[in-house]
Amino acid sequence: MSTEVAPTAAPAGPRPRVRATPARTAIAALALVVLLSLVRAISGADDLTSGGAISAALLLAVPIAMAGLGGLWSERAGVANIGLEGMMILGTWGAGWAGYQWGPWAGIVAAVVFGAVGGLLHAIATVVFNVDHIVSGVAINILALGATQFLSNAYFAGRDGGSTKQSPTVDPLGTVSVPFVGDPLASLEAHHWLLVSDVAGILRGLLTNLSWITVLAVLLFPLTFFVLWRTPFGLRLRACGESPTAAESLGVNVYRMKMIAVVASGAFAGLGGASLALAASSFYQEGQTGGRGYIGLAAMIFGNWRPGGLAGGAALFGFADALQLRGGAAIHALLLLVAVLVVLVGAWQLRRRRVVQGGVALACGVAVLVIYLVTTTVPSQLTGSVPYVTTLLVLALASQRLRMPATDGMPYRRGEGG
Amino acid sequence: MARVDVRRVLVTIAAPALALVLALAIASLALRASGHSPVDTARAMVTYARRGSTQVLILNTATYYYLAAVAVAIGFRMNLFNIGVDGQYRLAALLSAAVGGAVHLPRPLHLLLIVVVAVTVGGMWAAIAGLLKAYRGVSEVISTIMLNAISTAVIAYLLTPGRLAVSTQGSNNIGTRLIPVSGQVPGLDLIPGANRQVFGFIIVSALVGIGYAVLLNRTRFGFDLRATGRSQSAAVASGVNVKRMVVISMALSGACAGLVGLPQLLGASYSYALDFPTGIGFTGIAIALLGRNHPVGIALGALLWSFLDQSSQILDLEGVPKEIVTIMQGSTVLSVVVAYELVRRYSQVLEQKRVGLALGQTTGVTA
């Protein structure tokens, strides 16, 4: 559904592609930690790397990551899925409905099933009836909203603690921690030593008090990578997104693969809904998803339709979300981080002799830096927009290497391939 | 040949008719499941819609739904998906309300100023997405989603006392300064016997619809736009500057989106306050799909949508959960596209049969 336009500045001659090897990823992650640590020390906003903030970021990244993973499955099979938001809404409702009656684990199962039903609807519309993928997605978002409001009226209103907009409270799911690390890390963190305390804070956030849904969600990333990139099934599924006619000629049942992918996509989105209803709070509430389905889609595109990149995008949104919830000082410090990052990107572009992009990036970076220096706080109303502005900046400034599956969003009919 | 024409007419009518039947069937099922009679519900809705004052309300909501859907449709014809209509119209309405409330001018000038501000703000906000798409290859779907979120934050920032807002006496609602009478659009007595007036802005809506039809079908720009939407490579080959088209059509879509808030602003509320209607942009997407991007189709879609919206009022009184309306709207969108696809497949089969028959006759082989 989108017109593809190649970026203007064509690279002058072939240049070596920088591939994301595990070593390079580790170095990049390390550099980011050092940068965070420096920014924390300069700005004095200790919340930037505190265990609490990182833990909150993880909790908020999970729904976005699950929606994104849903999008990844569906779009890798060539079905654009803008209905993730609706499938997520179905998930939150299912989690609340089954959760308060039979406990949180039943809630998770119901959320996955409800999300998958939304996915099935999208699959039937797009694969069987060849409906435009965007149309079907928009319709599913409307339908899911209407259906959950309708069902809340019937099942939650009048129940103890429930209303037409909210389910009764669900028992907590419980958390899990890596043993023996919480206290030492907390004491290290309290010293506020450069780098050491920051690493301790980040580790404490990542290793202690994890919701079971978070653990499940994190495990789904390597699983998705393995299934989609290391099995024959995954190869066939991705082939359906790149060239369904070629897949068809090799005997792949394209319809079936697409159906499986889209139903799985809904299940992931439903699980994301469960994490909102059961981990981030303890009930279903109308409007709980708050557009996270769309943000998940953005995180997936940001991550170039790859699980690793998607995880990075989701982490970015989760982090900015968490800092915003925890107050202004850390968000103000985030401006410094954004400024430094954008300046670095600009310098890198200049080194590659891309003068225009580099210049624009440097100018943006300096502008953000000036804003950081002349202000002491970010107005509370504007803090919420930081992740969105960051995404726009990153997408606009990073070199354009994003490539979506070749036939993503296009209709396919068996036997009509040219 | 006359027989074939009859068939074509039948096929054209078949799609919307089938869609209607499908949507009604789904809604009846949902009503039955919740223990209400579909027939009684439909009767209540129709009776309510026959009241003059309801008809005014339907026309009023349809006025801005139509503008939003046309804004989306301009993008769709170019294969651009402007999800950002929502942010564009809210930002445009806020800023034009602030400007309109700050000045005193003769009526034509005052109205012109407000409209120009709204159109410019909407167009420029959308042009950001267009520029990012054309020159940085950023998908407009993502950038407009981001811009929606950013405009929500910017509006929250600007709409505070001391910036653009003044507090209203006797309530905790805050809004921009009231637009003086010279900047208001008087209502029209279109429906005799109704106790309300139709938004005067409905004329502008109709003009925008005509403008959209003329622009698309009677100008070179419209031809280029449709060509780019159909086949980008063919458009490039015939000398269309695709980048320029992306930026211009995005800005145009945003300019149209800038008008969306004005019927309400200049015809009813006269101020942008916290309770200004939101989400019209998303409704616009559904209506543009329903009307298949056709100026008349969109008008019918907007009327149907606002009829359903308004009738939810009476359903509440009848004891039927009004959320049934949202289900109806969602299933209508789906049924319309499914019905068109089914009819397209069927007419393709018919066409193949006809061609086969004709070929058989000319070559002397009996079919």
Q: What is the pLDDT of residue B170?
A: 66
Percentage of chain A exceeding pLDDT 90:
36
Phi, psi angles (nearest 5°) of residue A416: -105, 5
Q: Decide: A332 and A376 in contact? Cβ < 8 Å.
A: yes
Higher pLDDT, A247 or B366: A247
How close is the nearest chain A Cα to the Cα of B194, in Å? 31
Q: What angle do CA A374, A375, A379 make, to 5 degrees?
A: 155
Q: Is the pLDDT of residue B367 over 60?
A: no
Cβ pair A131:B80 closer than 8 A: no
| Tens of pLDDT, residues A189-213 | 787 777 788 888 888 888 888 889 9
Of chain A residues 281-300, which have a CB less than 8 A from chain B? Answer: 291, 294-295, 297-298
- The CATH number assigned to the domain holding A52 equals 1.10.3470
Q: What is the pLDDT of residue B3?
A: 52
Q: Is the pLDDT of residue A407 over 80?
A: yes
How close is the nearest chain B Cα to the Cα of A277, in Å? 22
Strands in A151-213 per DSSP E: 175-176, 210-211
Of chain A residues 117-176, which have a CB less than 8 A from chain B? Answer: 125, 129-132, 134-136, 138-147, 149-150, 153-154
A38 vs A337: CA distance, rounded Å: 9
Contacts of B80 in chain A (CB under 8 A): 2-3
Name the closest residue on chain B to residue A141, using Cα atoms. Answer: B330
A76 vs A239: CA distance, rounded Å: 8
Decide if A340 is inside a domain: no
Q: What is the pLDDT of residue A11?
A: 42
> What confidence category does residue A1 fall into, taking pLDDT thresholds of 50, 70 and 90?
very low
Q: What is the pLDDT of residue A383?
A: 73
A261 vs A267: CA distance, rounded Å: 10
Q: Is B338 on the interface with A (CB under 8 A)?
A: yes
Largest CA distance in chain A: 69
Q: Is B18 on the interface with A (CB under 8 A)?
A: no
> What confidence category does residue A334 fall into, taking pLDDT thresholds of 50, 70 and 90?
confident
Q: Is B156 on the interface with A (CB under 8 A)?
A: yes
Instruction: List the end-to-end C-alpha distance of chain B, in Å, as a whole number.
Output: 19
Higher pLDDT, B252 or B312: B252
Q: Decide: A386 and A331 in contact? Cβ < 8 Å.
A: yes
Q: What is the DSSP letter of A8?
A: S
Q: What is the pLDDT of residue B347?
A: 84
A125 vs A88: CA distance, rounded Å: 18
Cβ pair B321:A140 closer than 8 A: no
The kind and range of the H/E element at A211 are strand A210-211
Decide if A46 is inside a domain: yes
Q: Is the pLDDT of residue B364 over 50?
A: yes
Q: Is the pLDDT of residue A26 over 80?
A: yes
How close is the nearest chain B Cα to the Cα of A109, in Å? 24
A335 vs A337: CA distance, rounded Å: 5
Decide if A417 is inside a domain: no
Contacts of B330 in chain A (CB under 8 A): 139-146
Name the closest residue on chain A to residue B232, using Cα atoms. Answer: A3
Q: What is the pLDDT of residue A83?
A: 92
Scan for tokens 């300019």, then name that residue: B255
Lowest-pLDDT choice from A13-27, B123-137, B315-329: A13-27
Q: Provide the number of structural domains found in chain A.
A: 1
In order of A127, A375, B235, the CA distances from A130 in angstroms are: 5, 53, 26
Percentage of chain A exceeding pLDDT 70:
93
Q: Is A8 on the interface with B (CB under 8 A)?
A: yes
Mean pLDDT of the region B267-278 = 90
A261 vs A306: CA distance, rounded Å: 15
Mean pLDDT of the region B250-272 = 95
Contacts of B156 in chain A (CB under 8 A): 381-382, 384
A325 vs A343: CA distance, rounded Å: 27
Q: Within a 10 A sphere around the Cβ of B13, how many other Cβ atoms?
A: 11
Q: Is B341 on the interface with A (CB under 8 A)?
A: yes
Q: What is the DSSP letter of A46?
A: G
Q: Is the pLDDT of residue B12 over 90?
A: no
- Three-class SS state of A155: helix
Decide if A288 is inside a domain: yes
| Tens of pLDDT, residues B100-117 | 999 999 999 999 999 999
Q: Is B348 on the interface with A (CB under 8 A)?
A: no
> What confidence category does residue B365 fall into, taking pLDDT thresholds of 50, 70 and 90?
low
Contacts of B229 in chain A (CB under 8 A): 3
State both tokens at B165.
Answer: 């807002």
Mean pLDDT of the region B220-243 = 90
Q: What is the pLDDT of residue B6?
A: 74
Handedness of CA A48, A50, A53, A55 (dihedral sign): positive
Q: What is the pLDDT of residue B252?
A: 96
Q: Is the pLDDT of residue A12 over 50?
A: no
Decide if A354 is inside a domain: no
Length of chain A: 418
Alpha helices (H) along B78-165: 85-102, 107-136, 140-158
Q: Is A317 on the interface with B (CB under 8 A)?
A: no
How close is the nearest chain B Cα to the Cα of A182, in Å? 37
- Three-class SS state of A129: coil
Q: Is the pLDDT of residue B313 over 70?
A: yes
| Tens of pLDDT, residues A92-137 | 999 999 999 999 999 999 999 999 999 999 999 999 988 888 878 8
Higher pLDDT, B302 or A153: B302
> What confidence category does residue A357 fall into, taking pLDDT thresholds of 50, 70 and 90?
confident
Decide if A140 is inside a domain: yes
Mean residue pLDDT across chain A: 85
State both tokens at A214.
Answer: 């978070």
A408 vs B322: CA distance, rounded Å: 37
Mean pLDDT of the region A362-379 = 85
Q: Is A12 on the interface with B (CB under 8 A)?
A: no
Among A403, A399, A361, smallest CA distance to A11 is for: A399
> What confidence category does residue B2 fall into, taking pLDDT thresholds of 50, 70 and 90?
very low
Distance of CA B9 to the CA centre of its chain: 27
How close is the nearest chain B Cα to the Cα of A188, in Å? 37
Higher pLDDT, A46 or B74: B74
- Among A120-134, B201-215, B229-243, B337-351, top mean pLDDT goes to B201-215
Decide if A221 is inside a domain: yes
Bridge partners of A163, per DSSP, are A166
In order of A357, B79, B215, B236, the CA distances from B245 in angstroms are: 22, 11, 14, 11
Helix crossing, A292-302 with A51-76: angle to 10°?
80
Q: Is the pLDDT of residue B133 over 70?
A: yes
Of chain B residues 182-211, which have a CB less than 8 A from chain A? Answer: none
Q: Is the pLDDT of residue B77 over 50?
A: yes
Mean pLDDT of the region B349-364 = 83
**Domains in chain B, please, with CATH?**
1-36+322-367 (no CATH), 58-319 (1.10.3470)
**Residues of the domain holding A292:** 42-326
Q: Decide: A268 and A69 in contact? Cβ < 8 Å.
A: yes
Cβ pair B330:A153 closer than 8 A: no
Q: What is the pLDDT of residue A18?
A: 59
Q: What is the DSSP letter of B165?
A: E
A199 vs A192: CA distance, rounded Å: 10
Decide if A174 is inside a domain: yes
Cβ pair B80:A2 closer than 8 A: yes
Q: Is the pLDDT of residue A248 over 80?
A: yes
Mutate to test the interface with A, among B309, B334, B345 (most CBs of A within 10 A): B334
How close is the nearest chain A Cα to the Cα of B216, in Å? 18
Q: What is the pLDDT of residue A257?
A: 95
Contacts of B325 in chain A (CB under 8 A): 146
A305 vs A93: CA distance, rounded Å: 28
Q: Give the nearest partner residue to B145 out of A147, A149, A294, using CB atoms.
A: A294
